[in-house]
Structure formats: structure tokens, C-alpha cells
Amino acid sequence: MSVQSTTIQQLAVNTIRTLSMDGVQEANSGHPGTPMALAPVAFQLWSENLQYNPQEPLWPNRDRFVLSCGHASMLIYSMIHVSGIKAIDKHGKGTNQPSLKIEDLKNFRQINSPCAGHPEYGYAAGIETTTGPLGQGVGNAVGMAIASKHMGAKYNKPGFELFDYDVYALCSDGDLMEGVACEAASIAGHLRLSNLCWIYDDNGITIEGHTDLAFTEDVPMRFRGLGWHTVVVKDPNDLKAMQAAYDEFKATTDKPTLIVVKSVIGFGSPNKANTHGAHGAPLGEEEIKLTKAAYGWPENEKFLVPPEVPAYFAKTMGEKGAAANSAWDKKFVEYKTKFPKEATEIDFIINRKLPIGWDAGIKPFAVDPKGMATRVSSGKVLNMLSPNLPALVGGSADLAPSTMTLIDKETDFSPGNYAGRNMHFGIREHGMASILNGMALSGLRPYGATFFVFTDYLRPSMRLSSIMHLPVLYVLTHDSIGLGEDGPTHQPVEHLAACRAIPGVYVYRPGDANEVAHCYIAAMKMENHPAAMVLSRQNVPTLDRAGLGAASGAEKGGYVLSDCQGTPDVILIATGTEVPIIMEAAKKLIAEDIKVRVVSMPCMELFDDQDPSYRESVLPKAVKARVACEAGIRLCWDKYIGLEGHFVGMSSFGASAPANQLYEHFKITPDQVAAHAKIAIQGM
């Protein structure tokens, strides 16, 4: 039996549909119904609208496509396959190998397959971001659109429109129910991101059943309220109507666009009312046969890709994308001769490398017994970094004056000034972090700031920063009971442990201004991991390093700050604002002829990366009497202090009072540390 399709378009759409059905069936898990319904939406977008060169998937000015409803992953895998996107080499250049072979699609959801259950960034060219946790992808898309506007405003010159790419995100009911999506949409509307298009699959159904169960709001009206343009497409199978909607997006130059698509999940399946099958389960062999028959498809063929389909994509998206890419390359060569300084900056950004001399502005802090809060030294370091690191762009969730994240010499990023580098995310921590991920995916080195306790509000995105190996910088101040009077709701207790628990997040808690500088250096050098820079509200002395370990030791995560002759009787370990406390405790112990080593441990993850001999030199196994001090919970510390170890810190929520009273109240004091040290020594 041959394929019966009236048009090449229909043939392509049905190819995408059947690949998705077959992939889910073969894996015996996944969601086939959504890709089946959205195939025409994706087909029309990719073949006619997405400016993308399948030969060079990382061309910097490509339009971005985000599948925010990551459960429909077979849709993007099918698209990548049929549109002929090539794999990239380790330099990010296109190769002659396909990004996804048909075998990869057959191995959907199997070990080592690039076709994971949900699209994973880095697994295959054409996947612009990791999605699956609903709402995140659309948030990332806002960050990508911001990056496009920023790069354009900063680097485009008359006749050289180097950056003007559009960002399309396909999303579902679940995406739009999530708070993070609304936060991101609100910022996007405020910022008038006309290069952003969300396509909402308004299929009226989620896992539990009809959206009437829990979601009856007027979505287009909400988006209009958020400052978006909205378009409704009654039937996505009407490709002309789809195209008209895309045209309307392109013609809208002052706001983002939401295209609402009224689709029918499991389109073509005889059993489309079957919510179970459409969502979390394969259709089953019988239903697949019937569906294929309804499409005019050979019933028994699996993973069939008629050669006309890739050929059609090559002619449409492929030819247009390649032409646009090569025109861009030529322009960029000319740009390099005319604007060499800007071109160099662009090169570093698009290759995601630190520019030469990026750290040249960082100057040491002078010794100061009164010292300053680490949030203050952090602000100074950010300002020292900014001039030599153009990719550094960020801001805070309405706490710039407290988190010290404003760059003095820079302007605000705003609808009239996309070249600005000071961003204002409003009180939208989760939206902010999802946006930071999108910015990082676009080559920027973004940072976002809030109070440390509110990492709870952005944690899902922080987790994705790490899964995607993105160098997002989180600036997190007011890091303990040391913030004082605001009380228990604002005092992080479990947050250090919670952030350290996310694999790949490097949690820095520097103990003085110079450690802050070195923690920033370490964090910026780390191009494949997010950093949580955890900073104090209260002052810490800027240490006189004479006779002490150099602050550059912070770049090894942990180092000996002060030492004794010979083998120590006890090792005291602390981070951040508790470093001065253990220093004080050490003095008391030394006065009693006890041999003390003081270790500052600003970043456990970095310390754990050091070779065993270095770690042994800091924390020798032979010395078992150890006390750790941190104004948070004990979790994470046992690996350094062992079963016999002592911990001075928190085991409950905090309280509202001035900081020094709280440290007394919760017994995080030099006396307490010294007392524990003596017990630890006696116990040996």
C-alpha cells in the first residue's frame, strides 16, 4: 500500500504524526496525542517561517524554537529528523551527520538515546533548551528574546542587522497554568518583546480530563492584559490560517504575540476522546493502524519517511536558512573590518568564552577590621567585572538596593533601551531564573539576585540551569539569621543544604571581601555550571592576610586560613560570616595551648573537585577532632567532620531580633565553638 496524501504539505504533516505515534509505541511510553495534533503547527512554522539553517544549527542569528510542552518530545525529534538538521562537532560547527537518525527515533526513551523522554539540551542539535517541567520553556523563550533584543541594540549598525532573531515557543495548557509562565509573560509584555511568539495549544485537555476541571479563565484576555497581541486559529490543520497567524506575529512590532490554536488531541485517531491514551500512554497497535488508515498511510509501515518530505524541508527551510546564514556570514566578515572591537566582543559571546582580560578590573580589598557585608563587596566586584565582561547582564527581583547588583555605569534594560545591562525583573523570582536560563543559552553571562531565602521561589529553574550546564550566576544575599530583625520567614536555614543538594550547582559563601573577589573569579571561570553566590547582610572584617592563607585559596573551594605548628589537635571549619567566629574561637583555644587549624570552606563543590592530596593537606585524615560552624543546618557537613564531628549552627527556624542577639540566642559563638572543640579533642 502506498502513501496517499493530497499535497506534499499533508504528506509532511502525516510523516511527523506517524513518526511520533511510532516512537511512542516503540518505547511503550510517552505522549503521542499532542505531537499528532501539533504536527501542522510545527510543519508550517519550520518550513515557512523559522529562519534556520539545518546545516549550521548554531548559527547565532537563527530563530529559536522551544518546545515548552516537553512531554510532546516526539514532535521535536520528528521535526529535527525530517528537516535534516545536522549534528554539530565539538566546535559547534555543522557536520555531515544527521542530528537525529531514524534509529535514534526508534530508540526513543532508551538508555543513551539522544531522544530522551523529554527534550534535553545538548543531546542533539536542534534542541535549544531542556523542557519537561511545564512553564520553564516559555520562560526560557523570554530570556532568548531578551538576548536577541540586547545583542541587536548593542551591536547592530546601519546596514548590519546582525541580531534580529525571533523566538517561537510551543506550549500547552499546563505551561500556561504554571505561575512561572505568567511571570515570564508579564515581563515580556512589559518589555514589549515583539520578537517573541508563544503558540498555545488550546486543546481543552490535560491529564485529569477536560480543562473545565481547573482552568476556565479567558487566556487571550489575560494575555492582552499583560500587553500581548493575541490571535486565535480555529483549526491548526488549516495551514493558511496558521500562516496568517505567523504573519500577524511578524507584523506586530511593539509587543509579543500569543497564537491560540484550537487543536484536537490525538488528531486522526478514531479514539480521540480517549484522554488516557492521548496523554501518558501509547495508542496501541490497533489504534495506530486505524489512525494510519485514516491518514491514508500504509498501516503496517513503521517509522516511514517518504523521501519527498526531507526534500521539501531542504527546499524550504533549508534553502532559505542557508542563504540567510551565508548572507550573515558575509556581513559579519565586513563588520569585523569596520567594527573590530564590537566584533571581538560578539565572538566571545557567541562562542561563550570569557574575553581576554575579563578579570583585569578586579582589585584587592584593603585590610579593614570593621569590614563590610559580603553583599557590599559582591556589588563592588560585579562593578569591577562589568567593564571587561560585556556578556555580564542581569539584575534583581526588585532588590537591587539590598543585593547591591546595580552596575553604576550602565543603563536600565527597558523597552526603549534594550542595550541597557541593568535588568529589573520585578518581584518574579521564578520568572527571572527561567529567563536567566534563556539568556545563558544565548551566550550571555546572566545574573539574577534576590534574598537567599527566596531561592525556594526559583529553585526549579536553578535546577535546570544545572541540568543544562549553564553558567547562570545567582546573587543571593541576606544569607542567614544574620539578617536579623526580618525574622524567621526571611532567615534561610536549610537553603545552603538545599542548594548544595542540586547536583552541579556551585554554592559559594565567601568569608570576607577578598574571598568574595576570588569566589567570583572561580565562578566566572566555570563555564559549565551555575553558581549561587551566597552573601551576608551583616559586616565581616576584611582580613589582614599576613600570617594567614591567601584569599586566592577560595578558588580551591577550601583552604587553610590559619595554622599551628605540627599536627593540629583540632580543625575548625566555617563558611562566610562564621569564619570570623571560628577565628575568634581559635584564639581562645590557642591561649589554652591547644593546636588549632582554621579552614575556610567557601565552596564545598569546588573543594571536592580538588585532587585528593590537596584535600588531605587541608583536612588530614589523621586529625579527627573537627568542628564545623555555619549558620544553617548540619546537612552536608558530615562528609568533612565525620561521625565524631561537632557542628555549631542551626537546627530550627530563626527568630526576629538584631543579628548579634540571634547569634547569642542560637549559640553560634566563639565560646560555643571553643567548647565543642575541647569536647571533640577529649573524645579522641
Binding site for ligand TPP (CB under 6 A): 34, 69, 71-72, 132-134, 172-174, 178, 203, 205-207, 265, 279
Strand intervals (E) in 64-221: 64-67, 86-88, 94-98, 167-172, 196-201, 205-206, 209-210
Positive or negative torsion for Cα 323, 40, 57, 474: positive
Q: Which does 279 bind (CB under 5 to 8 A by kind): Mg ion, ligand TPP, none?
A: ligand TPP
Q: Among positive and negative, which fits the CA dihedral 445, 550, 574, 381?
A: negative
From the list ligand TPP, Mg ion, none, which binds 148 (C-beta under 5 to 8 Å, kind-based)? Answer: none
- Please report whether residue 512 would count as binding Mg ion according to CB under 5 A: no
Q: Rounded distance, CA 170 to CA 157, Å?
A: 32
| 19 neighbors 56 (Cβ within 8 angstroms) | no
Partner whose binding site includes residue 207, from Mg ion, ligand TPP, none (CB under 5 to 8 Å by kind): ligand TPP
CB of 121 to ligand TPP, least distance (A): 16
Q: Is-contact 96 416, C-beta < 8 A?
A: no
Q: How far apart are CA 601 and CA 682, in angstroms?
A: 25
Residue with cell 566578515: 333
Q: Which does 132 bind (CB under 5 to 8 A by kind): Mg ion, ligand TPP, none?
A: ligand TPP
User: Where in the sequence numbering do the catalytic residues fall?
Assistant: 429
Q: What would the grid cell of residue 5 be?
A: 496524501
Site for Mg ion in 584-623 (CB under 5 A): none
Assigned C-alpha cell, 292: 494510519
Cβ-based nearer residue to Mg ion, 233 or 475: 233
Nearer to ligand TPP, 133 or 448 (CB): 133
| Complex with ligand TPP: residue 34 or 186, whichever CB lies closer | 34
Query: How far, in Å, CA of 303 to CA of 298, rounded?
Result: 11
| Antiparallel, parallel or unpaired: β 422-424 and 392-396 | parallel
Q: Which partner, Mg ion, ligand TPP, none, binds residue 51 by CB below 5 to 8 Å per kind?
A: none
Nearest CA among 100, 92, 58, 97 for reference residue 76: 100
Cβ atoms of 265 and 203 within 8 Å: the answer is yes
Shortest gap between Cβ of 372 and Mg ion (angstroms)?
A: 52
**CA–CA separation, 423 and 130 (whole Å):** 24
CA 166 to chain CA centroid, nearest Å: 20
CB under 5 to 8 A by kind: which of ligand TPP, Mg ion, none does 668 bind?
none
CB of 497 to ligand TPP, least distance (A): 23
How big is the site for Mg ion, counted in residues (CB under 5 A)? 4
Q: How far apart are CA 658 and CA 116, in angstroms?
A: 51
Which is closer to Mg ion, CB of 172 or CB of 575?
Answer: 172
CA dihedral 255, 260, 261, 262 (to 10 degrees): -170
Q: In one letter, which amino acid is 405?
A: T
Residue 286 CA to residue 284 CA, distance in Å, equals: 6
How many angstroms separate the CA atoms of 368 and 5, rounded? 78
What the block records as the C-alpha cell of 104 is 535514534
Amino acid identity, residue 549?
A: G
Q: Which is nearer to ligand TPP, 72 or 554 (by Cβ)? A: 72
Nearest residue to ligand TPP by CB is 174
Q: Considering CB distances under 5 to 8 angstroms, the limit depending on partner class, which of ligand TPP, Mg ion, none binds residue 133?
A: ligand TPP
Q: Quick one: angle between helices 136-155 and 179-191, nearest 10?
A: 20
Q: Tell me whether residue 138 or residue 674 sits nearer to ligand TPP (CB atom).
A: 138
Taking the least distance from each CB to ligand TPP, the nearer of 206 and 230 is 206
Q: Can residue 203 be called a binding residue for Mg ion (CB under 5 A)?
A: yes
Q: Which is nearer to Mg ion, 128 or 173 (CB)?
A: 173
Please give the residues from 385 up to 414 whose contact with Mg ion meets the rule CB under 5 A.
none
CB of 424 to ligand TPP, least distance (A): 26
Residue 71 binds: one of ligand TPP, Mg ion, none (C-beta under 5 to 8 A by kind):
ligand TPP
Does residue 263 belong to the site contacting Mg ion (CB under 5 A)?
no
Name 261's bridge partners.
201, 233
Taking the complex as a whole, the smallest distance from the CB of residue 280 to ligand TPP amounts, in Å, to 8
Q: Which is nearer to Mg ion, 38 or 50 (CB)?
A: 38
Shortest gap between Cβ of 224 and ligand TPP (angstroms)? Answer: 21
Q: At closest approach, how far in Å is the CB of 278 from ligand TPP?
A: 7
3-state secondary structure 66-107: EECCHHHHHHHHHHHHHCCCEEECCCCCEEEEECCCHHHHHC
459 binds, among Mg ion, ligand TPP, none (CB under 5 to 8 A by kind): none
69 binds, options ligand TPP, Mg ion, none, Cβ within 5 to 8 A by partner type: ligand TPP
Least distance to ligand TPP from the beta carbon of 505, Å? 19
Which among 476, 501, 498, 489 is positioned nearest to 653, based on CA atoms? Answer: 489
Write out 463-521 in H/E/C secondary structure. HHHHHCCCCCEEEEECCCHHHCCCCCCCCCCCHHHHHHCCCCCEEECCCCHHHHHHHHH
Task: Decide whether 200 or 295 has the Cβ nearer to ligand TPP.
Answer: 200
Is 345 a binder of Mg ion (CB under 5 A)? no
Nearest approach, Cβ of 173 to ligand TPP (angstroms)? 3
Binding string, residues 158-177; x marks residues near Mg ion by CB under 5 A: --------------xx----
Binding partner of residue 255 among Mg ion, ligand TPP, none, CB cut-off 5 to 8 Å per kind: none
Query: Given CA atoms 621, 623, 624, 625 in this order, what sign does their dihedral have?
Result: negative
What is the length of the chain? Answer: 684
Q: Which residues pair with 86 in a beta bridge?
A: 98
Of these partners, Mg ion, ligand TPP, none, which one is at the site of residue 134 (CB under 5 to 8 Å by kind)?
A: ligand TPP
Spatial CB neighbours of 639, under 8 Å, sequence gap ≥ 6: none
Residue closer to ligand TPP, measured from CB, 47 or 131? 131
Q: Which residue has the cell 520553564?
A: 136
Q: Give me the half-sphere count of Cα atoms (radius 13 Å) on the Cβ side of residue 377.
A: 33
Round to whole Å and give the CA distance between 264 and 37. Answer: 6
Please say which residue, 263 or 450, places its beta carbon nearer to Mg ion.
Answer: 263
Least distance to ligand TPP, CB of residue 34, Å: 4
- Please state, in angstroms and as integers, the Cα–Cα distance from residue 214 to each residue in 173, 208, 260, following that order: 11, 10, 19
The minimum distance between CB 645 and ligand TPP, in angstroms, equals 38
Contact between residue 174 and residue 134 where contact means Cβ atoms under 8 Å apart: yes
- In whole angstroms, the minimum distance from the beta carbon of 130 to Mg ion comes to 21
- For residue 490, give the C-alpha cell: 526571611
Is 68 a residue that touches Mg ion (CB under 5 A)?
no
Q: Are strands 445-451 and 196-201 parallel, antiparallel or unpaired?
A: unpaired
Question: What residues line the site for Mg ion (CB under 5 A)?
Answer: 172-173, 203, 205
